[in-house]
Chains A and B, each alone.
Chain A
């Protein structure tokens, strides 16, 4: 499986998912799948910055699994570390059920072992 297929499979899980973006921890988008043609650089930069700030201020080791979830009035954003250098950012429209989000994270962490580019392990 390649990263494109992996992201596409996640996008198809729920109609509430607007975009699935693979980005580096520096905030640069690597690959993404969305329903429309959009510019993702800004939102990737914001997500990566807040993720790094959270790890620093909350004193979480960089190798540990961590997940940032943000609820806004129009949508829900989930950013989690899928490998040591890569984050996965999922944007939802509305507020999805918590179990939908958990199952998506579980699926992503399970299937990433089939993708060579995401082969670095993190402690879960």
Chain B
């Protein structure tokens, strides 16, 4: 079985070898390691053919990717940069809502060889389309039962199927686990022989972290990532469910890989939950609308104004949504009024604090 990141690496190396057929100038650049192909996400580099990355300073490239990222168009785009010191061609495609960027870079490019730029652009275009195909097929197959391993084992949940297929992205995945709200492991799969023990450790880490965050009023972590030199861990709640997913990856690109695996898994699992209204065999409760938000880590949360005036059951006054007397009231006890006269007609009087 060939993992997806190994396929992408092999593809990039294959294209580097094939540049010799395009032009001798590109072949020289490849031989002298001045030519570089990369595949990256918004979180960082996934595939990099250069073994001399210190020669390719990437600080300036922050100006190119945000330009592509800020453009909301769904069609594919390319950014071209040509200078006497380097050529950098950057292409972009989207997989669901996740952007991927492929680049071809040449350091100390040949002068006055303008026709070569078209060949480099063609190289980028081919590499970009091939990467897009591999990733799109993998993402589409996450719910597939066609793999040999899945045929041999029985499973009662589509959620396990998604996670089992996700293992096939990279051999560096130590552990993928689903956790319940109390911090227990529902299922754990991984390439590491101690995947279950690692899953238990991640569950304890998540449970203790949630307990710490509960000290900050209305601050609920969506996702927590812990990364070091050699490994990265990501734990977070799956949207529309109360189940958490924990991923542990080791290696040089651990941080980028764990982000990518999370996005793949979370989008499929939350889509499954939305479609079936079930998760792990249990019915999902309808999610409550958020009525309190914060615009600062230090200020208390504020009510989201659903209408102009609000009153609390049990009180005889009506208020504006930002009134301090409502800061601790339970949102299910609130009544909303569009106009002042409506509130007065229901027998309420204006608040003496906020003077609505």
Chain A positions within 8 Å of B, measured between CB atoms, are: 18-19, 34, 36, 38-40, 42-43, 46, 49-50, 53-54, 57-60, 64-75, 77, 91, 93, 97-99, 102-103, 123-124
CB atoms of B293 and A70 under 8 A apart: no
Does B114 make an interface contact (CB < 8 A)? Answer: no
CB atoms of B228 and A19 under 8 A apart: no
Does B298 make an interface contact (CB < 8 A)? Answer: yes
**Complex CA–CA separation, A72 to B213 (angstroms):** 10
Does B338 make an interface contact (CB < 8 A)? Answer: no
CB atoms of A64 and B222 under 8 A apart: no
Q: Is the interface of A mostly helix, strand, loop or mixed?
A: mixed
Which B residue's beta carbon lies closest to that of A43? B297
Which of A65, A73, A102, A124 has the largest number of chain B CB atoms within 10 A?
A73
B55: min CB distance to chain A, Å: 18
With contact pairs A58-B231, A124-B229 given, residues A46 and B43 touching in the complex (Cβ less than 8 Å): no
CB atoms of A57 and B294 under 8 A apart: no
CB atoms of A66 and B205 under 8 A apart: no
**Complex CA–CA separation, A68 to B229 (angstroms):** 13
**Complex CA–CA separation, A91 to B295 (angstroms):** 12
Chain B 209-232 interface mask (CB, 8 Å, partner A; 1/0): 100110110011111111111110
Which residue from A42, A53, A68 sits with its C-beta under 8 Å from B216? A42
CB atoms of A70 and B44 under 8 A apart: no
Question: A46 contacts which chain B residues (CB < 8 A)?
Answer: 212-213, 215-216
Which residue from B69, B209, B220 sits with its C-beta under 8 Å from A73? B220
Which residue from B66, B215, B297 sits with its C-beta under 8 Å from A99? B66
**Complex CA–CA separation, A25 to B65 (angstroms):** 35
With contact pairs A18-B296, A68-B225, A71-B222 given, residues A50 and B231 touching in the complex (Cβ less than 8 Å): no
With contact pairs A46-B216, A58-B201, A123-B229 given, residues A75 and B297 touching in the complex (Cβ less than 8 Å): yes
Question: A42 contacts which chain B residues (CB < 8 A)?
Answer: 215-216
B70: min CB distance to chain A, Å: 10
Which A residue's beta carbon lies closest to that of B223? A71
CB atoms of A74 and B294 under 8 A apart: yes
With contact pairs A50-B209, A65-B229, A68-B224 given, residues A98 and B43 touching in the complex (Cβ less than 8 Å): yes
Which of A39, A54, A68, A91 has the largest number of chain B CB atoms within 10 A?
A54
Which B residue's beta carbon lies closest to that of A79? B226
CB atoms of A73 and B226 under 8 A apart: no
Besides A69-B225, A74-B296, 11 other A-B contacts (C-beta < 8 A):
A43-B216, A54-B205, A57-B201, A58-B226, A58-B228, A69-B226, A71-B221, A71-B223, A72-B220, A75-B294, A99-B66
Q: Closest 8 A-B residue pairs measured CB to CB?
A: A38-B298, A54-B226, A57-B205, A66-B228, A74-B294, A57-B201, A71-B223, A69-B225
